[in-house]
Amino acid sequence: MHLIITDAWLAKSRAIHLRGTHLVVALLCSALVLMLLALGLYHWVFLKGAREGWPVVGTVLRWVVKDEFDQRDRAVRDNIDLMAQKLGDMQAKMLQLEALGERVSGLAGLNPKDFKAKPGAGGALIESRSLTLEELGHTFAQLDAISSQRADLLTVVESRLLEQTVRNMTIPTQQPVSAGSLGSSYGWRIDPITGRSALHTGLDYQAAHGTPVLSAAGGVVVTQEFHPEYGNMVEIDHGKDLVTRYAHLSKVGVKKGDLLKRGQKVGEVGNSGRSTGSHLHFEVAVRGVPQDPQKFLKAGTQLARAN
């Protein structure tokens, strides 16, 4: 492209030759200058209109501000919905903790109301302010972590207490005869029939014929038969190689395979088998070796006093 510039006063002319690249650069620079001028003018007009309250500019400002407020409202609503969901989760966990606390307190012999009581708190009010969303979220996160830890801890405690309770329920600590006096003890004695010294492997309870005989602990009936020496006899397996024997019964109220609870009726006191009178012969054996039943019964008495 050729441009010719003529000066009428000096009667001179000058020719300028522009190549394609020069022309493109010149156009781009012109466009950039025009854009900067337009932006500057728009900014000046917009600020002046905002200060002086021009109707058109005010409408644009209200539209922009309204859109920004709408976005903030949506963000706040989303945060509130999220907080509400977390609050619901926290309420569910607190209910779980309350239920766990009641079960654990029952197993541990505590008062369930202690888990519902509101802890005491107080102090002088120096300054107060509203919580921010960040602080509220942080507080929820702390409460969630604490409740989860306490729930896990209570679950472990409940499991241990339940295991201990079950173990205690399967140890023969229940008196097998509620109405009766203790006769012969465990150990060496003069045999009532032969008159010679003999080992007595259990306890003899003197009781009237037909007195109920109770299971000393929960377990499974493994033997129900008539024995030449023990007469009508019942043996109950309490687990961990622990077995109790009830002998000389007049009547038997259970059969082999029955699952019994502590204190459940096994039969009635009698005089069957090798016996000189109405009584109950009660034995405790661990791995087939007879033990002194008094050790177990005294442990049950001490446990009852402790509770």
Per-residue confidence band for 16, with pLDDT thresholds at 50, 70 and 90: low
CA atoms within 13 A on the CB side of 123: 5
- Stronger pLDDT, 168 or 148, i.e. the higher one: 148
Per-residue confidence band for 18, with pLDDT thresholds at 50, 70 and 90: low
184-226 tens-digit pLDDT: 999 999 988 888 999 999 999 999 999 999 999 999 999 999 9
Q: What is the mean pLDDT of residues 146-167?
A: 68
Task: Note the pLDDT of residue 30.
Answer: 79
Given the structure tokens 């942080």, which residue do they identify?
A: 138
Among 34-38, 180-184, 198-202, where is mean pLDDT lowest? 34-38
Overall pTM > 0.75: no
Tokens of 131: 């919580």
Given the structure tokens 């945060």, which residue do they identify?
A: 79
Among 31-45, 119-133, 210-224, 285-299, where is mean pLDDT lowest? 119-133
Q: How far apart are CA 227 and CA 269, in angstroms?
A: 15
Among 276, 219, 271, which Cα is nearest to 249's? 271
Tokens of 214: 């109770």
Average model confidence (pLDDT) across the chain: 78
Task: Note the pLDDT of residue 236.
Answer: 97
- Tell me, letter by letter, the H, E, C secondary structure of the chain: CEEEEEECCCCEEEEEECCHHHHHHHHHHHHHHHHHHHHHHHHHHHHHHHHHCCHHHHHHHHHHHHHHHHHHHHHHHHHHHHHHHHHHHHHHHHHHHHHHHHHHHHHHCCCHHHHCCCCCCCCCCCCCCCCCHHHHHHHHHHHHHHHHHHHHHHHHHHHHHHHHHHHHHCCCCCCCCCCCEECCCCEEEECCCCCCEEEECCEEEECCCCCEEECCCCEEEEEEEEECCCEEEEEEECCCCEEEEEEEEEEECCCCCCEECCCCEEEEEECCCCCCCCEEEEEEEECCEEECHHHHHHHHHHHHHHC
Task: Note the pLDDT of residue 264.
Answer: 95
